[in-house]
Structure 1
Amino acid sequence: MAAAASSSSAAEERRGIPAAAFVEDVETYLRQSGLDVNACLSLLQERLQQYKIVEMKLLAQQRDLQAKIPDIHKCLDIVAALQSKKTLITDYEVSEGIYSRARIEATDSVCLWLGANVMLQYSRQEAFALLQKNLENAKASLQVLLADLQFLRDQETITQVTIARVYNWDVHQRRIKQPINES
């Protein structure tokens, strides 16, 4: 059994997500880590649960970003419409299920809702540039998040394979030690 205990992953961690080590030789891995089979399995299960918690958080962030991008597109469309037309007639929601019609005269400024009860007034050009930058940032964040999720899923798979390898090794060792009953 001259194989190494584990091969190092291409990346040790990605944005705080630790990389899982693929265990090639279970016996050497257990000896080097100083763990027995049960402690090793417990440790791997705990790591797998940690990965699942991080995955849930990342999926929530992904849903938020995927909802935010269409909203930014809508705002960009509205600012573009304001820039191209002198007068705009639109329907807007007054309260849930109640709409009203408004006539918006040409204006040089736009108010953007920034969240946390904050609204700021910008020129149309500034508003368009800000929204464009927000859209680019949201798309870039989504790409990074998707890469993080892929990395995380790879680590979950490696951990699950390692758990199976340790368990199977343990079963094999027990069979070897078990006396053969000849009838």
Structure 2
Amino acid sequence: MASTSKAQMELNPRGIPRAPFVDNVEEYVGGKDAEMDSVIKKFQETSAKYRYMELNLQQRRKALMVKIPDIEQTLSVVSFLDARRRKALGEEEEKDEMDDDDDIDALLDGEEDEDEKDKPLTTLFELNDTLYAEAQVQETGEVGLWLGANTMLMYPLAEASELLSSKLSGAKKNLSEVVEDLEWIREQVTVMEVNFARVHNWDVKRRRDRKTTESHLKQKGDESDDEK
């Protein structure tokens, strides 16, 4: 039982406990005459907890897989606006390691004509899934970011880029941890299924042995009665 307690206390980095593996079933349940209902109930409760955590983590993973592309797209737009403003002000562009640097440079290179240089930025705004409207962007060096709960705040482009980069990094880290936790939980669910099968098979064998023993005792008793 000491090894079982130690296994139960082992946690993953997010505090999810490792399922105890039942090596010696008879010792785990408390002997040959132990009651099995409490053991089976405990296994069912533990498995249900793991299933509940797995469901929550699957929902978190799904939400993050939607959130990360949204942040990446927003960060790309902010980076484009920041690069465009720096170019208009004649400032030296700050090079970063974003994958879409070449795309931003290509967009800016298309605005080299003097006739086009002073024109306002025109783009399409999505009003609905299939409905867009053309609009001119008033470039003030700030951008509005949705923060949730119907809340939008204005940020300078540099601060907006820094904030989005931080959120993107955090979201990717969370996704990596969620995937790791899901793999951990699936391993524990498998362990609990193996435990249940081992305990069930042991109980079936115990009942069979009891039945065989009782049958032999009864047979001997009948033979003793015949001898009398």
TM-score relative to the length of structure 1:
0.87
Within 5 A, what are the aligned runs for 1:28-67?
A: 28-31=27-30, 36-67=35-66
For structure 2, list consecutive stretches of 5 or more residues without a partner in the other structure: 86-119, 217-228
Q: Which structure shows the higher strand fraction?
A: 1
For structure 1, list consecutive stretches of 5 or more residues without a partner in the other structure: none
Q: Which structure shows the higher helix fraction?
A: 2
Q: Which moved more, 1:147-156 or 1:128-137?
A: 147-156
Residue 137 of structure 1 corresponds to 170
Say if 2:121 and 2:138, in contact at 8 Å, map to a contact too: yes
1:21–1:35: structure 2 CA closer, same or farther, 3 Å change rule?
A: farther
Residue 155 of structure 2 corresponds to 122
Secondary structure, aligned partner of 2:30: helix
The one-letter amino acid paired with 1:148 is: D
1:93 aligns with 2:126: yes
1:177–1:67: structure 2 CA closer, same or farther, 3 Å change rule?
A: same
Secondary structure, aligned partner of 2:136: strand
Residue 16 of structure 2 corresponds to 17
Any idea what the Cα deviations from partners look like across 1:28-71, whole Å, max 9, x if unmatched? 00118x96222211210121111111111111011111110000
Structure-2 separation of matches of 1:35 and 1:145: 39
The one-letter amino acid paired with 1:36 is: E
Offset of residue 107 of structure 1: 2.7
The number of aligned residues is 179
Any idea what the Cα deviations from partners look like across 1:148-177, whole Å, max 9, x if unmatched? 111111111111110001001111112222
Larger radius of gyration: 2
TM-score relative to the length of structure 2:
0.71
1:148 aligns with 2:145: no
Say if 1:4 and 1:25, in contact at 8 Å, map to a contact too: no
